[in-house]
Structure 1
Amino acid sequence: MTDGADAAPDAPNRPNLVLVHCHDLGQHLGCYGADVETPNIDRLAADGARMANSFCSAPQCSPSRASMMTGHYPHENGVMGLAHMGWALGDEWETLPKRLRAAGYETALLGFQHEVPDEPERLGYEYVDSGTKRALELVDVVDDFFAERADAADPFFVSIGIEEPHRPFRREYLPDETYDEYDPDEVSLDDFPYLPDAPGVREDVADLRSMISAVLDPAVGAYRESLADAELAEETVFVFTTDHGLAMPRAKGTCYGPGVETALVVHQPGVVEGGDVHDGLVTNVDFTPTMLDLLGIDPPTDVSGESFAPLLRGESHEGRDRVFAEMTWHDRYNPIRAVRTERYKYVRNFSVLPKVFVPMDVAPTASGREVHEEFHVPQRPTEELYDLETDPEESENLASDKKPFESAAAASDPDPAHLDALDRLRDELESWMRATDDPLLDGPVPYPDVE
């Protein structure tokens, strides 16, 4: 039996779990204050609870998703890069679907996953339909799935994986009118203070918002409608989230706020109070323990994540006072570790990359190249410290600007007003790395031995 799972006979009395997860969204939703129309997801947030300070373990797809499904950081479960590039989750790891299957749940995947490159059944899914990962094409697939389970005796867990709004934002399979709602000349860039006001950027933002408003949001609304039509909504936990931040420079592929912030909305009728907004720090390493707890299954005690289900239920909950994030490999070696408290962000760069990292799935577009040119900045410092109270955009580094392999005499001194915070967070990050056996402490992490 899977550690932490109750015996299967109690399963029929437990709620179902519907997890809707999309690509590269960050918190770019109306309910999070973004200038984009998302009435369906906003309604979900009004019906349930919204986590205002939700973060991912890594600003990239596979490592973040593997953390969600295992409760372990990427360097613990071994997924330190993309699954299709050799960093797949091993079969020995206990995942959320495996744990739920052991507790008597039917487990299903509709659409997309990226924890393994193929055979998602290895993750614990009994039923898989990966014929499409496009949000609107999945509407009929999801409708059929719920209709077929309207009278099922056992509860189910279904993971609905959506490709959008991954780049390219403008897609050939979508009709031209999809992109009519937002005018690049009129679009506001207030949500993107880290990007220059340039024509390519404006086109990107308009296309991104169009895909969110005209594709992602109505699809989520349709999934909820199908669940209600099957008369399953009242006995189901419905969760919407994303893997990491937006596919923009200084976001995806970095441990800055726009790279690691994630939308997380949870609805459970009669349990989670509608309209609640929780400001506590949470990380998607906590996702599996939290979901198990909400379903009435004892969460595992041998994972790095911890349940924040008591917070969602309105119970007393101490919560986290810090969250950690990391980056190791994407389409190149880019080792970073970071810790964030309510007030500070500390980032440690272990590489010698000459500029802010822009993943190749962000840079190749015409506008991406244009934005990329804006980031030909000097080599990144070894350490970065930001006071989030006065500098939420993380623009003023309060640590030394010393570069890797540069002598201390050539660098500025840290801001004396924040020396205590710098020393404390530097020690806490290293303690976390040691406690979790981070291989980066032993030197550069090699690429996996794969073809």
Structure 2
Amino acid sequence: MRIPFLLLLTLFSGAIHFENPLQASEAGPNIILFIADDMAWNDCGAYGHPHIQTPNLDQLASQGMRFDNAYLTCSSCSPSRSSIITGRYPHATNGAHQLHNDLPADQITFVELLSQAGYHTALAGKLHPRKTTADRFHKIYGTGAKETGGCGEWVTALKECPADQPFFLWLASTDPHRGYQPDTIPEPHTNSHVIVPPYLPDVPEVREDLALYYDEISRLDRYVGEVLKQLETSQQADNTLIVFISDNGRPFPRCKTTIYNSGVKTPFIVRWPGIVKPGSTCKQLVSTVDLAPSFCAAAKVAPSDRFQGVSMLPLLTDPEKPVREYIFAEHNWHDFDDHQRSCHSLHFNYIRTTYTDLPGTPPADAVKGASFQAMLKLKEQGKLNENQLYSFNVPRAKEELYDVVNDPHEMQNLADDPLYSSQLENLRTRLDVWIEETGDFTPDSRRPNEFDRVTGNRLPKVKD
């Protein structure tokens, strides 16, 4: 069905365009982007968790703005990062939409635009995808020693920034990615500190698994603090824009690789002295596809006309005025094949699944994890409830609709409820427009699984 052009203009991307609130005469700031690896949006004190030790993230939020409705375009590591750096949705990156796929050389990134405008650019920590991404930065630093969780070179990268240039730093942790080790931090979290979401069974194995995950978040927090301290020491804090996000949700069943809130909702904290009101919050929708145009706007650099996001800078000074009405997310191959799309408003999340014949198996590292292995045993014993069976059930629903305000864990699918038919039809239409305008596609063939869905062990390669 052809969608009228005027409707396309109204619906595409859900974006509402506003002018940059900053004056053109102001110089661009230094910019730091912190990226956690597999951290859920609400697993820190700044977002209300009562037990996870995150004093530095909490301080960052108290000095800046906390976004309560920030989303990723994909709950999968390399596609999410490729989307962030290009300002494009994963399927629109010419091949970087699946896990481990390299970012093609023809993709324009905001890092290159900042570099051309005189910024020194560096990446320290996790680099994924590796090929062609490294070429976008002036300098690449490693992850440091294993016990630093990928953050060991962060302060070095900051100290080595040239004094006569503004800088952009992409500081990427490997925490809290699996696998987990005990005694990651001096005072480890215990089972009593854990809050078990309702889609996971509340058993000791799950609590122990989550406690180790919490420990890695606290280790990450420590290194965020060291960077903040160095900014103060070098007297650069007042002229540095900081953004903290995660690349996808926690690596547990019904989280990472899903397009539920547990997969694609992200912590999103912005500190920019003199621009952002300390201790403020924003409840408007933002997407990580908006970071590229936003960083360019902050640096007074012309954005690429290939960016598919919108600048969120207006929200930094007026958090009540929306810049978009809808956000969109996708899930493609990640260890196991899948194809899902979603359209999210402030009140509802609409999910469309193409491969309904496949179960929602979590990533292979989570399959090997203690939580999923415990769930396999509980399933055999008939001790999992309906929402805890997501990873196993087939067929899955082709359409799902959730009231994320009144049902934040997305437990009750409203897609077949006639009371919500208008909301369902609206989000269907919005998603159809986005699919058409961004050139989205369903692959012609299925990609083989790389791991076993029960053990998480790598499968033999399929010969051509």
TM-score category by the smaller chain? 0.7 to 0.9
Per-residue CA deviations over 1:335-371 (Å, capped at 9, x if unaligned) read: 0001111111111110034432311121112333223
Where does 1:415-426 land on structure 2 (aligned, <5 Å)?
Answer: 415-426=417-428
Partner of 1:201: 206
Match of residue 410, structure 2, among 380, 394, 397: 394
Partner of 2:65: 49
Per-residue CA deviations over 1:254-286 (Å, capped at 9, x if unaligned) read: 111100110111111111111111000111010
Farther off after superposition, 57-66 or 296-305: 296-305
**Is the 2:78–2:98 Cα contact (8 Å) retained in structure 1?**
yes
**Is the 1:246–1:259 Cα contact (8 Å) retained in structure 2?**
yes
Match of residue 215, structure 2, among 210, 213, 222: 210
Partner of 1:187: 193
Deviation, 1:178, is 2.4
Partner of 2:45: 30
Give percent identity, aligned residues only.
Answer: 32
Match of residue 104, structure 1, among 118, 139, 145: 118
Give the TM-score normalised by the residue count of structure 2. 0.83
- The alpha-carbon distance between structure 1 residues 304 and 203, as it changes in their structure 2 partners (threshold 3 A), is same
Partner Cα distance (2:109, 2:359) in 1:
36
Deviation, 1:133, is 7.5
Unmatched runs of 5 consecutive residues or more in structure 2: 1-23, 449-462
Unmatched runs of 5 consecutive residues or more in structure 1: 1-9, 400-413
Farther off after superposition, 366-375 or 346-355: 366-375
**Is the 1:331–1:360 Cα contact (8 Å) retained in structure 2?**
yes
Match of residue 176, structure 2, among 156, 165, 178: 165
**Is the 2:62–2:280 Cα contact (8 Å) retained in structure 1?**
yes
Deviation, 1:141, is 2.9
Deviation, 1:169, is 2.6
Partner Cα distance (2:410, 2:331) in 1:
18
Partner of 1:145: 157
Partner of 1:155: 166
Partner of 1:411: none
Partner Cα distance (1:383, 1:311) in 2:
32
Match of residue 94, structure 1, among 103, 108, 131: 108
1:334 is paired with a residue whose SS is: coil
Partner Cα distance (2:274, 2:184) in 1:
40
2:365 is paired with a residue whose SS is: coil
Where does 1:280-295 land on structure 2 (aligned, <5 Å)?
Answer: 280-295=284-299
- The alpha-carbon distance between structure 1 residues 24 and 154, as it changes in their structure 2 partners (threshold 3 A), is same
Match of residue 250, structure 1, among 247, 250, 254: 254
Number of residue equivalences: 412
**Is the 1:133–1:161 Cα contact (8 Å) retained in structure 2?**
no
Where does 1:28-427 land on structure 2 (aligned, <5 Å)?
Answer: 28-35=43-50, 36-77=52-93, 78-83=95-100, 87-114=101-128, 116-118=129-131, 120-122=133-135, 124-132=136-144, 136=148, 141-149=153-161, 152-170=163-181, 176=183, 178=185, 180-184=187-191, 186-189=192-195, 192-213=197-218, 215-314=219-318, 317-371=321-375, 373=379, 374=384, 375=389, 376-399=392-415, 414-427=416-429
**Is the 2:145–2:152 Cα contact (8 Å) retained in structure 1?**
no
1:39 corresponds to which letter in structure 2?
A: P
Give the TM-score normalised by the residue count of structure 1. 0.85
2:285 is paired with a residue whose SS is: strand
2:303 is paired with a residue whose SS is: coil
RMSD: 2.5
Deviation, 1:387, is 1.9
Deviation, 1:138, is 6.1
